[in-house]
Amino acid sequence: MKIALAQQNYHIGNFEQNTRKIISSIEKAKEAGADLVVFSELCICGYPPRDFLEFKDFINKCYEAIDKIKLYADGIGVIVGAPARNKIPEGKDLFNAAWLLHNKEVKGKAYKTLLPTYDVFDEYRYFEPAYDWHVIEFKGHKIALTICEDLWNLGDNPLYRICPMDQLITQGPDIMINISASPFDYDHDDDRKEIVRANVLKYKLPMIYCNAVGSQTEIVFDGGSVVFDSKGNLVEELKYFEEDFRIIDTNDLCNPAAPTHEDKVKFDKEMRVSKLKNPEAVIGYLTEESNIRQIHDALVLGVKDYFGKMGFTKAILGSSGGIDSAVTQVIASRALGPENVRSILMPSEFSSSHSVSDAEQLSKNLGNHYDIIPIKNIYDSFLFALKPLFMQLPFGLAEENIQSRTRGNLLMAIANKFGYILLNTSNKSELATGYGTLYGDMAGGLSVLGDVYKMQVYALANYINSDAEIIPQHIIEKAPSAELRPNQKDSDSLPDYEILDKVLYQYIEKRQGPKEIIEMGIDPALVTRILKLVNTNEYKRNQFCPIIRVSCKAFGVGRRVPIVGKYLS
């Protein structure tokens, strides 16, 4: 049997576009002589649809799309993902379903059993888990059809009490097919291949795994669909961060030659876990070239899809001559085209001369339009208006933040006037510690680097410059500074980023407590100070714009902690 994998980029709620894409690939699969074509989880409506699922009209449109698509399932089988109504009154009204269409009819459905409700996932809010399991017969083959999380309940500490494949394997399936919408983070593709392979080795069946690609607000889906034969060899791996299409002959999967060595990507989880318990190894891991390359590609796709799916074309950002704005500007230019990115340089009396020249050179290197708007007169007018209230108190945080909010106002004014979207340039280290000004440098419609630690920003800059100097080297080499007071450096307010990022990673991504982090050899007073900064600045992050997610624990919908709380604060 020939099976086509259609790895596609969908748009949530854009039923017309999604349907056209699916039909186009069905026709392509027919031309290639495929018996069956497989699409990804909830491809009909896009993933994650969230509270759209509560609207009857939204579900009706899903069914209407399936009715249209099934007319093209003539002589070919089609597996698509879409919500399915639950006919039993008890429980949730919907299932997350994989639909088999053939001969212009719905021939079968498989319901998702394991409904992730953690991090960015909230599926049990909407869906009822499957309560029975049946293989689906197609052209003399028995297919064990599962959906995304249904594969992930292996290991010593399973999250769920049941494995759907344990039920399906008793019915003698020939092949496993999994349709998925598995989000990207910079070590998840290896985990994903390992879990698919673990299922293959456990059940001794080949697997076809079709993943989504594209960005949906903050979540990036990286594609990377895979095919494993019954011996656990990786036979096919589709492109990452791009749409792709591939034809597989199952005859090559079910009786493979015995391998002389494991044909798979080398990935030792125990070594990785051990390494990340050592804080000295954290920065090296975070800045590994393979991780940085993937982060770069994910950010470019995140910006491109956010703008494209929202109907926007042009971006604006404040270009300070610092590394964060420089990397953001490059990412935006690669996502949208340099002609669609406008940088605004807003020097103050505390800005160094090279900050302006560095920012100018970057815009020239990229081919971006840029403008220079000095803020001294505006800043002075604020101070003049506030002088009676400030009562000659010494210069401090209020005066620093006035500069930042002045810049934010200017950027938003230009954005409103000309229809730009303001890109925020704050990094994860700053957001974690509250090192930013609400309604100032924290303003924006989309955060590009909000899930990227400062040391990763440096690694991204070096990666960008690997073939040619795009970001002026002086931007990379100079000490980071907000330049809001004379001779200011970030290190005046924060620990060195190399130390700070180690602690933040252990606390945010690894969920280690102060005791465990201190036991790694980090100064107790420093650990206490950093964790307090993180927890007391949740109110700032709660008002922040969407952040493109590239780690396993990003700020935003996937990290839910109280604003008013006493823990470690």
CA dihedral 475, 321, 439, 372 (to 10 degrees): -170
Residues 6+ apart with CB under 8 A from 503: 279, 495, 517, 522, 526, 527, 530, 531
43 close to 10: Cβ distance less than 8 angstroms: yes
Q: Using the predicted structure, report yes or no on whether residue 511 has a pLDDT greater than 50.
A: yes
Q: Is 416 helix (H, G, I), strand (E, B) or coil?
A: helix
Q: What digits encode the pLDDT tens for the residues 410-422? A: 999 999 999 999 9
Q: What average pLDDT does the chain have?
A: 94
Q: What digits encode the pLDDT tens for the residues 356-400? A: 999 999 999 999 999 999 999 999 999 999 999 999 999 999 999
> How far is residue 8's CA from residue 26's CA, in Å, rounded to a whole number?
12
Interval 425-436 mean pLDDT? 98
- 69-83, 249-263, 347-361, 426-440: range with lowest mean pLDDT: 249-263
Q: Catalytic residues, which ones?
A: 41, 112, 148
CB atoms within 10 A of CB 487: 9
Interval 18-29 mean pLDDT? 98
Q: Using the predicted structure, report yes or no on whether residue 274 has a pLDDT greater than 60.
A: no
Q: Using the predicted structure, report yes or no on whether residue 264 has a pLDDT greater than 50.
A: no
CA 281 to chain centre: 24
- 185-189, 437-441, 520-524: range with lowest mean pLDDT: 185-189
Assign domain 287-494 to a CATH class.
alpha beta
**pLDDT of res. 261:** 55
CATH number of the domain at 2-257, out of 1.20.1270.30, 3.30.565.10, 1.10.3720.10, 3.60.110.10? 3.60.110.10
Q: What digits encode the pLDDT tens for the residues 188-220? A: 878 899 999 999 999 999 999 999 999 999 999
> How far is residue 550's CA from residue 67's CA, in Å, rounded to a whole number?
36
Q: Measure the N-to-C terminal CA separation of the chain; round to a whole number of Å.
A: 60
**pLDDT of res. 484:** 82
| Residue among 283, 292, 280, 276 at smallest CA distance from 510 | 276
Taking the model in full, what pTM does it have? 0.95
3 state SS for 185-246: CCCHHHHHHHHHHHHHHHHCCCEEEEECEEEECCEEEEECCEEECCCCCEEEECCECCCEEE
Kindly report the backbone phi and psi dihedral angles of residue 563, in degrees, each rounded to the nearest multiple of 5, phi listed first. -75, -45
Interval 504-522 mean pLDDT? 96
Beta strand 315-318 pairing with 421-424: parallel
Interval 145-169 mean pLDDT? 95
Reported as a pLDDT band with limits 50, 70 and 90, residue 507 is: very high
**pLDDT of res. 238:** 98
10 close to 46: Cβ distance less than 8 angstroms: yes
Q: Using the predicted structure, report yes or no on whether residue 158 has a pLDDT greater than 90.
A: yes
Sequence ranges of the domains in the chain: 2-257, 287-494
